C-alpha cells in the first residue's frame, strides 16, 4: 500500500510539474484548453496571432515559468525527502502534515499564477481576437454539453470494463 501511495504521489507530482512545463511552452490553462497544452495552442493558433503577439505571449509564459521555478524545486525536494521516509520513522506524521500544507500552498499558487498568465495573454489579444476566443469557448462548451447528454442517454454496457 505504501508503494501505491508513493507511486500515486510521484505520478501526481509529475503531472503537476508537467503541466507547468506545458503551460510555459504552450499556453495558459482554463478556458483556453484542456490541460493547457495542445488545445491551448490550437485555440491561440486559430486567432491568427501576429509575430509580435506570439513573441509577447511566449515571453509571458517563459517569465511565469521561471518565476516559480524555485518553489517547484523546493516542493520536489520536500516530496523526495518524504518519500524516502518510512512510516515508522520519528517525525513521519509531521512530515506528512508539512508536505500536505506545502502541496496545498503550491496548488493555490498555481491557480493564481494561471489566472495571472491568462489575464496577461488575454490583454495581448485584440478585441476581435478576444471575441473570437469567447465564441470558440462557447462552441466548445456546447460540444461538451452535447457529449454529456449523449453519455447520459447511452450509458456504457454492464459488462466488465477492466476495472
User: Which residues, in sequence order, are CB contacts of 9 under 8 Å at separation 6+?
Assistant: 79, 82, 83
> Measured between alpha carbons, how far is 30 from 43 in angstroms, rounded to an integer?
12
Quote the pTM value: 0.62
Residue 161: pLDDT above 90?
Answer: no
Give domain status of residue 159, yes or no: no
Give domain status of residue 160, yes or no: no
> Measured between alpha carbons, how far is 77 from 82 in angstroms, rounded to an integer?
9
Residue 8: pLDDT above 70?
Answer: no
Q: What is the count of structural domains for the chain?
A: 1
CB atoms within 10 A of CB 121: 22
> Measured between alpha carbons, how far is 141 from 149 in angstroms, rounded to an integer?
12
Give domain status of residue 161, yes or no: no
Give domain status of residue 158, yes or no: no
The predicted pLDDT at position 45 comes to: 79
Confirm if 20 and 29 have CB atoms less than 8 A apart: no
Owning domain of residue 25: 2-152
Q: For residue 80, what is its C-alpha cell?
A: 523526495
pLDDT digits (tens, 9 = 90+) for 89-121: 999 999 999 999 999 999 999 999 999 999 999
The predicted pLDDT at position 158 comes to: 52
Amino acid at each position: 500500500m505504501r508503494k501505491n501511495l508513493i507511486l500515486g504521489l510521484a505520478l501526481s507530482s509529475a503531472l503537476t510539474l508537467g503541466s507547468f512545463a506545458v503551460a510555459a511552452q504552450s499556453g495558459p490553462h482554463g478556458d483556453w484548453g484542456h490541460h493547457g497544452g495542445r488545445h491551448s495552442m490550437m485555440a491561440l493558433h486559430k486567432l491568427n496571432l501576429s509575430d509580435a503577439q506570439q513573441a509577447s505571449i511566449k515571453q509571458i509564459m517563459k517569465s511565469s515559468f521561471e518565476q516559480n521555478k524555485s518553489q517547484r524545486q523546493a516542493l520536489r525536494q520536500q516530496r523526495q525527502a518524504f518519500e524516502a521516509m518510512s512510516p515508522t520513522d520519528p517525525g513521519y506524521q509531521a512530515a506528512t502534515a508539512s508536505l500536505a500544507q506545502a502541496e496545498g500552498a503550491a496548488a493555490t499558487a498555481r491557480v493564481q499564477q494561471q489566472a495571472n498568465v491568462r489575464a496577461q495573454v488575454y490583454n495581448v489579444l485584440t478585441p476581435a481576437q478576444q471575441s473570437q476566443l469567447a465564441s470558440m469557448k462557447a462552441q466548445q462548451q456546447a460540444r461538451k454539453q452535447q457529449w454529456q447528454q449523449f453519455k447520459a442517454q447511452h450509458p456504457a454496457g454492464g459488462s466488465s470494463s477492466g476495472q
